[in-house]
Structure 1
């Protein structure tokens, strides 16, 4: 099952450029991060990384997923701020819609 933590880790990988640097920033082991990224690929059903002997880089789908993950996590943050605001106490309904869509080009989008 897709977890927001995996998306956060993917974003850190994209920012840091290597699994070892990302794992250090995230304060987790590199094998754990590797496992989480493989699970994320499995959950989404797409290849996020191009793997070579000693290098891991994001595919175009991976880069697109990072962009969508940033949007989703920003929505989550907006929701959490809303939840803590006076609006929550007034019980006004929030607007937060999240879905995973596959376009005709085969790419996935979080919307």
Structure 2
């Protein structure tokens, strides 16, 4: 019993389709991996380029904040949980009478 060349056509079509799907999946997986690598490199550069913390600024939670006006040293004072404090000088904004700028 001999097979005609046309009887193998469905098998070849399915086989070719599976091969194409495998190549497409492999290609998209490689592109996905490359995009992840690019994002990781970008994030690494941003971490390296991030501004350094000021040595005067404690790391940790704030315990309380006070705002002093009407004295010779108008300021915003931050009391840190580690016992240290930071003073930010404040001045009245020229545009309005009720806005203050500190820092």
Task: State the TM-score, normalized to the length of structure 1.
Answer: 0.26
Task: State the TM-score, normalized to the length of structure 2.
Answer: 0.28
Greater strand share, structure number = 2
Greater helix share, structure number = 1
